[in-house]
Amino acid sequence: MKLFGIEIDGRSREEIFKDIVKRIDSSQRVFVVTANAVIMLKVKENPKYRKAVESADLVVPDGSGIVLVSKLKGKRISKYPGVELARDLVSEGSKKKWKFYLLGARERVVSKLAKDLKQRGVNVCGYHHGYFDGKGPVEEISEKKPDIILVAMGVPKQELWIYENMEKFRKGLFIGVGGTFDVMAGFKKRAPKWMVKAGLEWLYRIFQDPKRWKVLFRLFRFFIYALLDRG
């Protein structure tokens, strides 16, 4: 399905995951965007961010807003939340001994996650918090050549960082995963299953962090633009 000129992957999550695994196994350099309403609104309103998302190899539907819009437009796509994709990558990667690099979140969050994953047998070759000035750990990543670089710095920072630095790396799957590190390291809870199923994860996140209420305006703007959009 095309939304605001961006092709959103309409395959099943199994097919998407298989494709991603194939690309990692063949040492390709890949940029994956996990698109939700906030990301798509940024695409619509920010030309630089649009360029970043346009340069992605895969745009996976992460949010219920996108799935709902596709349904209203008569197209069926299934949701593949970034936090679940990240978990699938970690679980497949621990079997295949892929090398992971964790970039983003606060120091205490990312260091705890790195430690936890290593204890579970995941090959974490390095990590860095997401509050740096300048270009961040580009040289370290170039040297260590990880297979997967999980970038958890929020929107738009994570996709812009990948877009601006991607050319400097030979290989690796680069994926923006938002607040996933806080959830994986146990600092924040994910919404209960029934809320995820009902497509209400965004509401749970507002309860968790009331400062997020402004996101409602963004969701509203996204729906207006999306329903008027002709692809």
- Which of 113, 104, 96 is closest to 24 using CA atoms? 96
> How many other C-beta atoms lie within 10 A of the C-beta of residue 189?
10
Give the distance between the most distant pair of CA atoms in the chain. Answer: 49
Stretch that binds ligand UDP, among 7-15, 67-75, 103-111, 134-142 (CB under 6 A): 103-111
Write the CA distances from 102 to 2, 111, 124, integer angstroms.
31, 9, 8
Q: Residues 106-145 vs ligand UDP: string with x where CB under 6 A?
A: x-----------------------xx--------------
CB of 165 to ligand UDP, least distance (A): 15
C-alpha distances in angstroms, 74 versus 12, 44, 98, 99, 134? Answer: 17, 22, 39, 40, 44
How far apart, in whole angstroms, are the C-alpha atoms of residue 27 and residue 146?
10
**The one segment of 60-68, 79-87, 162-170, 177-185 that binds ligand UDP by CB under 6 A:** 177-185
189 phi, psi to nearest 5 deg: -95, 150
- Residues numbered 145 to 174 that lie near ligand UDP (CB under 6 A) are 152-155, 157
Query: What minimum distance in Å lies between the beta carbon of 218 and ligand UDP?
Result: 10
Residue nearest to ligand UDP (CB): 130
Does 179 bind ligand UDP (CB under 6 A)? Our answer is: yes
Kindly state the tokens that stand for 93: 């990667």
Interface with ligand UDP includes 105 (CB under 6 A)? Answer: yes
Angle 201-208/215-228 helices, nearest 10 degrees? 160
C-beta of 231: minimal distance to ligand UDP in Å? 25
Half-sphere exposure of 80 (CA within 13 A, CB side): 24
Q: Which residue number, 137 or 178, has a Cβ lying nearer to ligand UDP?
A: 178
Site string for ligand UDP, 27-66 (x = CB under 6 A): ----------------------------------------
Give the count of residues interacting with ligand UDP (CB under 6 A): 14
DSSP states of 1-29 as a string?
-EETTEEPP-S-HHHHHHHHHHHHHTT-E
Q: Among residues 24 and 150, whose Cβ is nearest to ligand UDP?
A: 150
Chain residues binding ligand UDP by CB under 6 A are 104-106, 130-131, 152-155, 157, 178-179, 181-182
